[in-house]
């Protein structure tokens, strides 16, 4: 039996790249997919329409939505559209996102605001009505929020993007706690995959290692029964490796107790207990 038979999946930013790979795989596994994307192809066609038409031509169930979900009303409208088309929402993948890379001293307010709007506000705009719909249906559900290694460990020239993706990480932690009341499982996905913008800069072998289809299989695991009742996890995924990312404490230094603080000098003397030993874990290894 297909892993997602009878399920309805809403995927934002699904007109190409990772989102498209999710949509095609989920549809192949029996889901009815709602593809949201505001992008157009070179000939002016909506990317969402092209993907949906292709899935339907292959015998799958798909519908396209081309609204800007960073608008709260349109985000709610996406969930209403999914319910009208396929009578429910069981899965939400918040995948939509943009880059406006510049070092901080060169970054204008518009560069900052747009990235926060698309990458973070859209997540609020869509997730709130999706969670409400899942609660009302009483069948639980799964929500996957797309973060980034940039938001967890940083990357030069991406202060706006990293801030938005770190926000996604925090949002997911809270959503996992709140969603548990309604049987809604929540994942954070930190993917590494080639895109239309980066394909020309990579070798053929690297493009194969970082193909979106590798990450799509991880997303399928997350949203299907294969992952059981797991919730609240953050997974890094690429063709090079798949691993959980967690915030873990170092051994640390005990407080002074009795109202006596640890002095700055004492802290410096014992700082090997405060920090993780170097070098830190490399999440992505592009040396091979």
Contacts with 280 (C-beta within 8 Å, 6 or more apart), sequence order: 153
Q: What are phi and psi of 60, to 5 degrees?
A: -90, 180
**At 127, is the secondary structure helix, strand, or coil?**
helix
DSSP state of 102: B
Cα end-to-end distance, the chain, whole Å: 38
Q: How many CB atoms lie within 10 A of CB 258?
A: 5
Give every strand in the sheet of 32-36, ordered side by side.
Answer: 61-65, 32-36, 8-12, 91-94, 141-146, 184-191, 233-238, 241-244
DSSP state of 40: B
The residues annotated as belonging to the active site are 161
The two three-digit tokens of residue 172, written as one number: 């997911």
The two three-digit tokens of residue 110, written as one number: 């518009």
């Amino acid at each position: 039996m297909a892993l997602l038979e009878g399920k309805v999946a809403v995927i934002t930013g699904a007109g190409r790249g990772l989102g498209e790979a999710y949509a095609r795989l989920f549809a192949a596994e029996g889901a009815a997919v709602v593809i949201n994307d505001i992008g157009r192809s070179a000939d002016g066609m909506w990317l969402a329409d092209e993907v949906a038409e292709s899935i339907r031509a292959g015998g799958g169930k798909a519908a396209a939505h081309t609204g800007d979900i960073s608008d709260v009303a349109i985000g709610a409208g996406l969930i209403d559209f999914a319910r009208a088309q396929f009578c429910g929402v069981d899965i939400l993948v918040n995948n939509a996102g943009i880059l406006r890379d510049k070092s901080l001293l060169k970054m204008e307010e518009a560069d900052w605001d747009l990235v926060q709007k698309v990458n973070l506000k859209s997540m609020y705009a869509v997730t709130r009505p999706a969670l409400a719909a899942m609660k009302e249906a009483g069948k639980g559900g799964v929500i996957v929020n797309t973060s980034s290694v940039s938001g967890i460990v940083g990357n030069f020239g991406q202060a706006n993007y990293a801030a938005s993706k770190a926000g996604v990480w925090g949002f997911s932690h809270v959503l996992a706690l709140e969603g548990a009341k309604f049987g809604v499982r929540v994942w954070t996905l930190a993917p590494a995959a080639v895109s239309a913008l980066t394909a020309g800069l990579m070798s053929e072998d690297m493009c194969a290692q970082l193909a979106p289809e590798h990450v799509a299989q991880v997303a399928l695991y997350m949203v299907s029964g294969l992952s059981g009742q797991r919730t609240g996890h953050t997974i890094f995924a690429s063709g090079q490796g798949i691993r959980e990312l967690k915030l873990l404490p170092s051994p640390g230094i005990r407080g002074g107790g009795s109202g006596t603080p640890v002095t700055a000098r004492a802290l410096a003397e014992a700082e090997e207990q405060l920090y993780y030993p170097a070098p830190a874990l490399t999440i992505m290894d592009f040396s091979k």
